[in-house]
Amino acid sequence: MRLRCSSGARSRLESLPRTHVPHTNALLLDGKRVAQHIRESLKARVAALHARGITPCLAVMLVGDEPASHTYVRTKAKACESVGIRSIVRHFACADSDPEFTAEQLRMFLEGVRRLRAGGFPETPLHAAASAGLLTAPDSLLNAVRCGLLLYGIAPTGLESHPLCAQLRPVLSWRARVISVRTIPKGQSVSYGARFRAVRPTRVATLSVGYADGYPIGLTNRAPIALHGKLVPQIGRVCMDMLMVDATELPEVQVGDVATLIGQDGAASVRVETLARLLETTPHELTTRLGKRVARPQV
C-alpha cells in the first residue's frame, strides 16, 4: 500500500522511531518509543510557548465514575503542571431524549469531580450542558454551558416545542438562483430515474444547487422550498449541481430569481428542523454538510 501525505507530514512520519522488517520493505513503528517521542515533542512545544509568555490550557473530560480513571486524571494533570487546566468537562448522550439517563450522567460527573478535588485536583470551572442540556437539565448548567445549535437559532431534535425554542430566530439562510424555467407536458418525467412525472402541464424552475453543495439527495420529492414568498415542492431527483421545483402556481418566476432552501422568504419559511425531520436525522448533519462551494456572506 502506498501512503500519500504532505511533505510536512512525511518528514514528521520519517522522524518517528521505527524498525525495519528484514526481507521486506515494511517498517514497524515502536509504540512505546513513539509515545515518548510525542511526549518530548509536546514538552518542547509547551516550553516554546512559555518562552513567549503564553500558557497553554486544556480541559479535562471525565467519561466515567471509576476510581482508576480519577487516579489516571490526577496523575496526568500532575505530569502536565506546565499546562494550565481551565475546566472539567462532561458531555451528555441523551439530553434531548432521556432525562433520567442524563441525571445519572450528571450525578456520576459531580461525584467524579468531588473525588478528584479530594485528591488535590485544582478547583477549576465545570461545564456539562450543550444546547439540549440547557433546555432539559437545569441542574447541569454549573459554571458554563456550550451552546451550539441554539446560537444559530435552531432547536435540538425533539425540543422544537420548548418555550425557549418558540422564540428562536434562525440566523442561517441558504439561497440559490433560478437558472432555467420551462413548461413540460403532462406525463413527462423530471431528472434522473424518472422519480417525478407531471400529472398536469407543469412549470419547472431549476435552481443552481445540488448534493455536491450539501443539499441531501434524500430530500428528493419531499422538501419545501420558498420562492416568491410561497412554499413550492421540490420535484425530481436532486442532482449533483441542480435541483428542480414545481413553479406552476408562480407564473411570475423567471431566471435570476432567488429561491430559499433554508430560511425566511416573506411569509414562507423553511427551517432546518423541518428538513431534519424529513430525513430522520439531526439538524447538526444538515448544517455541517454544507459544501465549500456555498458562499457564506455575513450580514
Q: Residue 138: its pLDDT value, please?
A: 93
Residues 129, 68 share a domain:
yes
Q: Which has the higher per-residue pLDDT, 12 or 157?
A: 157
**Residue 123 forms part of a structural domain:** yes
Residue given cell 420535484 in the structure block: 235
pLDDT digits (tens, 9 = 90+) for 127-168: 999 999 999 999 999 999 999 999 999 999 999 999 999 888
Pick from 35-44, 243-252, 281-290: least confident: 35-44
CATH number at residue 281: 2.40.37.10
Instruction: Tell whether 184 and 263 lie within a shared domain.
Output: yes
Nearest alpha carbon to residue 287 among 167, 150, 183 = 150
Give the three cell numbers for residue 82.
506546565
Q: Pairing state of beta strands 174-184 and 196-197?
A: unpaired
Q: Is residue 98 part of a domain?
A: yes
> Strand pairing partners for 89?
61, 127
Give this prediction's pTM.
Answer: 0.74
Residues 140 and 209 in one domain: no
* Domain annotation covers residue 192: yes
178: left (phi over 0), alpha (psi -120 to 50) or beta: beta
Task: Examine the domain organization and report whether 231 and 134 are in the same domain.
Answer: no
| Statement to judge: residues 202 and 265 lie in one domain | yes
Tell me if 27 sits within 8 A of 20, measured CB to CB: yes
Residue 6 lies in a domain: no
How many domains is the chain partitioned into structurally? 2
11 falls within a domain: no
Q: Kind and range of the H or E element at 85?
A: strand 84-89
8 Å CB contact between 108 and 65? yes
Residue 4 lies in a domain: no
| Contact present, 137 and 103 (Cβ < 8 Å) | yes
Domain membership flag for residue 34 = no
Could you tell me if 47 and 116 lie in one domain?
Answer: yes
120: CATH:
3.20.20.10
What is the per-residue DSSP string for 187-224?
A: T-EESGGG-EE-SS-EEEEEES--GGGT--GGGTTT-E
Q: Residue 272 pLDDT more than 60?
A: yes
- 249 found inside a domain: yes
- H or E segment at 78? helix 67-79
**What is the predicted pLDDT for the residue at 46?**
74
Please give the pLDDT value at position 70. Answer: 53
Residue 92's domain comprises: 41-147
* Confidence band of 117 (pLDDT split at 50, 70, 90): confident
d(Cα 176, Cα 226) in Å, to the nearest integer?
A: 11
> Is residue 236 scored above 90 in pLDDT?
yes
Residues 282 and 180 placed together within one structural domain of the fold: yes
Mean pLDDT confidence for 23-51? 66
**Based on the domain organization, do 279 and 201 belong to the same domain?**
yes
